[in-house]
Amino acid sequence: MTLNPRPWRLAVAGCGAAAFGLHLPLLTNSAPFEVIAVADRDPDRARAAAQRFAIPRVATTTQALLEGADMLVILTGVHEDLIEAALDAGLHVFTEKPVALDVTRTRKLAARAAEAGLLLEVGAMRAHDPALHGALAAVPEPAGGWLVKADGIDEAARRRLLPTGFAPYTFADDPPQPALEQLERHQVTALQILLWQGYHLLTALVLAAPGITPTACTLDAAGQSVHALLHGPAGQPFTLVIGATPPGRFLEQIHIADGVEAATVDFARPYEPAGTTRLTTSERETSGFGDPFAAMWQAVNARLSAQHPADLPASVDLAVRVEDLALTLATVCAPGTLARKDHS
């Protein structure tokens, strides 16, 4: 590994809850990194982030944001234009997931970064989760399982992290994210749910069962929940549910099993300590796991320090697999119908 004589200089685009609650607290207190500038569509939000985390510069243009940086950290809702701008400037990129709703676009960006000898890192936090890897070690070849997420706490959690007066969601102001033209409207909705709400579950699924393929998928009549059946290469059945839930309720769980052992992971609530995640097997229940988010950034630092130009970053390979699976699920997704009451 090549030792860097100074910290990696990071420019951060996007000062929402993920920045205030996750990335900036870690990066501004991590020796391998130095956050030199922040930007946000709302200059007041960027100034608030700079003040809270002692960041020296607030940028009002992309060009100014990139000046003097080694890597652009993209925490906005839409990523593609910023990725291109960073690659144009010869910078490495870390982007929150997903890279894009159109996986063909993700492949092109990944290839472009690799050709330039630049890293395109994707925030697949779950890939670094020790609880998930504990489950995969206990059940290395699952014969089936289920994955469920229902999140009714996200808005409240984000609001608590942000300074008073800032909205927890600004996605309505984002430019439209294009999806493949052949998708019908309900399929685009399903794709958005899969990649915006279910990305971590899909990450776990492609790690647990490489080569998995969708068998059936339905979007509920309200357009808020996806229910899917998938099968592994040997026909192993997996159920995936990403659903709406009343405010205040939360569940994110994976369960995998073979003929001998089973493992269930109940993941910590968003923005809460990873130590509350629980792994349950036939022998014991375990908690107190390390922070997968911190492990993800340790991996980013390791890859920056190694810098092998021909080596495509593993995280973007995983991102392509996840986005491919989401697209395939959306392609086979059927619209749900409202239950009909018998009035006879």
Please write the tens of the pLDDT for every residue from 3-52: 567 899 999 999 999 999 999 999 999 999 999 999 999 999 999 999 99
245-270, pLDDT tens digit by residue?
A: 999 999 999 999 999 999 999 999 99
The vertex-81 CA angle with 75 and 83, nearest 5°, equals 60
Predicted confidence at residue 340, as pLDDT, reads 56
pLDDT at 154: 92
The mean pLDDT of 311-326, rounded to a whole number, is: 85
Q: Decide if pLDDT at 311 tops 60.
A: no
Q: Tell me, what's the pLDDT at 4?
A: 63
What pLDDT was estimated at residue 312? 45
Asked, as a colleague might, if the bond just before 7 is cis with ω within 30 of 0, I would say: no
pLDDT at 112 over 50: yes
Q: What is the pLDDT of residue 169?
A: 87
| C-alpha span between 178 and 7 (Å, rounded) | 36
Helix axes 103-115, 314-332, angle to 10 degrees: 160
pLDDT at 309 over 50: no
pLDDT at 306: 78
Query: What's the sign of the alpha-carbon dihedral 305, 310, 314, 320?
Result: positive
Predicted confidence at residue 344, as pLDDT, reads: 44
**What is d(CA 151, CA 177) in angstroms, rounded to the nearest whole number?**
23
What is the pTM (predicted TM-score) of this model? 0.94
Q: Comparing 173 with 99, which gets the higher pLDDT?
A: 99
Note the pLDDT tens digit of each residue in 224-237: 999 999 999 999 99
**Would you say residue 189 has pLDDT above 90?**
yes
Phi then psi for residue 210, to 5 deg, are -55, 140
Please provide the DSSP assignment of 198-241 as one string: SHHHHHHHHHHSTT-EEEEEEE-TTS--EEEEEE-TT--EEEEE
250 vs 267: CA distance, rounded Å: 10
What is the average per-residue pLDDT within 316-342?
A: 88
Q: What is the mean pLDDT of the chain?
A: 93
Q: What is the pLDDT of residue 342?
A: 55
Q: What long-range pairs does 231-234 form, CB within 8 A, spacing at least 24?
A: 232/142, 232/144, 233/209
Predicted pLDDT of residue 338: 59
Percent above pLDDT 90 for the chain: 86
Euclidean distance between CA atoms 153 and 250, whole angstroms: 6
Split at pLDDT 50, 70, 90, the class of 149 is very high
pLDDT tens-digit series, residues 48-88: 999 999 999 999 999 999 999 999 999 999 999 999 999 99
